[in-house]
Amino acid sequence: MIRFFYSLLVYFLLPFTVIKLIYRGFKQPDYLKHWGERYGFYSASTKKIWGKRKTLWIHAVSVGETKAAIPFIKLFLKKYPHHHLLITHGTPTGRATSIDIKNVRVTRIYLPFDTVDATQRFLNTFKPELGFLLETELWFNLIHQAHKKSIPLYLVNARLSEKSFQLYKKILLLIKPSLQELKGVLAQTASDAKRFESLGARGVEVMGNLKFDVEPPRDTNIQSAALKKHLHLKNQSVLLIASSRQDEEEIILQSLLKLQIKNLVTIFVPRHPQRFKEIEWILKKYRVSFIKRSDTKITAKPYQFILGDSMGEMYSYYSLANIALMGGTILPYGGQNLIESMAMKVPVILGPHTYNFHDVSNEAIRLGAGTRIQTLDQLEKVLPQMLKSSSQLKMKKACNDMIRKHQGATLKMLNKIKSTI
């Protein structure tokens, strides 16, 4: 009964999704594309083609989830040469990220909104043998329709923050049946597993975090050297503000302007590309000397700040950095993925809000790969200390040790599904 009322609510909200897509399309035009996919409508030729294929399906909503899935996708394509892979996304940036997976057996589309008929059309068209939902993507009608069609569905790289856990407990009548219709929950940590089990999930196992298996692109060194030359970076110390969120950039900028750290250049790379213009406006507002990555000609004159207004270059930005201040941790967004920074041996500064990456954040601090600050005023003490050569050596080693310690989740996951395919 509770799912019936949920479905009614989804149908009631469906007209507003049109408004939302158009609104987002003003800032990011890709939201105006592929609407048929978002509502579960596919051509007759698509249905004919996919009806003959052996298909594995992975849902990775956005950039972080897509990057986490890449090692598994590559290994799957190698192990199962006769299968096709369908990757569904929720955002244009997620879809753009999966374009890097160049294989004729990989197809990427948007997952439809969670109405009963749209999810039925999706499953009837693509007929996956097996499906994976990454991290916390619980779509109740989708899960129920897959269960009715006997399509095994796993929640993988599953994580559940304490904040989300408390919210889910309030809608347990809706959450519990869906979790129990899953084939299994492959959790990142023991804490995540315990929370899922408390909500009624079955088949819960700790597999580790797929993001530790993600390797930087092979050409990262070449690309970062070219970027360094383009930006006229030489012997400066570089602070990377990585994946910053709404309203964080301005307060971070205000704090940095109070510091007197010689030879320091700060790169701002916001989480959402549609905010590039907003960050540029903030930098102009404070009349600081800055350049943009997108500038075609950059003179060698001194500057304090760089706006990283490009996509697909995050590893190159990390390669240039001595320290990364992780976005989403200064204001209560729960934090962004710090594992990429660890993989590039770049120690991190974390604010007080890391509930989305609670265990990883705490371990990074415990091992000496990062430092936590409660207020931005603490940067005055923390930054000079972390920039010392002795500190850099110790923290870079700690980053490398942490990555090596947690690798292997991809192979565990593939071994888990052997009997299902």
Domain final residue, candidates 177, 207, 237: 207
Domain final residue, candidates 185, 207, 229: 207
167 and 262 assigned to the same domain: no
Q: Which helix (H) or strand (E) holds 63?
A: helix 63-79
Whether residue 418 is contained in a domain is answered as no
* Angle CA 95–98–101, to nearest 5: 155
Spatial distance between the Cα atoms of 6 and 12, rounded to a whole number of angstroms: 10
Whether residue 150 is contained in a domain is answered as yes
Region 166-172: what's the mean pLDDT? Answer: 94
Domain final residue, candidates 207, 230, 261: 207
Contact in structure between 228 and 322 (CB atoms under 8 Å): no
Q: CA 282, 287, 293, 297 torsion: positive or negative?
A: positive
234 and 329 assigned to the same domain: yes
54 and 202 assigned to the same domain: yes
Binning pLDDT at 50, 70 and 90, where does residue 51 land? confident
Binning pLDDT at 50, 70 and 90, where does residue 1 land? confident
Helix then strand count (H, E) for the chain reads 19, 14
The count of domains in the chain is: 2
Which amino acid, one-letter code, is at 232? H
**What are residue 269's DSSP bridge partners?**
242
Spatial distance between the Cα atoms of 312 and 310, rounded to a whole number of angstroms: 7
Spatial distance between the Cα atoms of 276 and 354, rounded to a whole number of angstroms: 24
320 and 373 assigned to the same domain: yes
CATH of the domain at 20: 3.40.50.11720
* Angle CA 17–19–21, to nearest 5: 65
166 and 23 assigned to the same domain: yes
Supply the range of the domain harboring residue 395.
Answer: 220-406
Q: CA 298, 235, 218, 244 torsion: positive or negative?
A: negative
132 and 39 assigned to the same domain: yes
The confidence score (pLDDT) of residue 91 equals: 93
Summarised one tens digit per residue, pLDDT across range 327-336 is 999 999 999 9
Whether residue 416 is contained in a domain is answered as no
157 and 272 assigned to the same domain: no
**What are residue 240's DSSP bridge partners?**
267, 324
146 and 200 assigned to the same domain: yes
Whether residue 255 is contained in a domain is answered as yes
102 and 200 assigned to the same domain: yes
Whether residue 307 is contained in a domain is answered as yes
CA 386 to chain centre: 26
96 and 127 assigned to the same domain: yes
Spatial distance between the Cα atoms of 39 and 14, rounded to a whole number of angstroms: 9
Summarised one tens digit per residue, pLDDT across range 237-273 is 999 999 999 999 999 999 999 998 889 999 999 999 8
The torsion angles phi and psi of 242, rounded to 5 degrees, stand at: -95, 125
- C-alpha distances in angstroms, 125 versus 50, 132, 151, 316? 7, 17, 13, 39
Whether residue 350 is contained in a domain is answered as yes
Q: Structure tokens of 64?
A: 């972080």
* Percent of the chain's residues with pLDDT above 70: 100
Region 358-384: what's the mean pLDDT? Answer: 96
171 and 226 assigned to the same domain: no
- Quickly count: other Cβ atoms within 10 Å of residue 172's Cβ: 14
Whether residue 421 is contained in a domain is answered as no
Whether residue 275 is contained in a domain is answered as yes
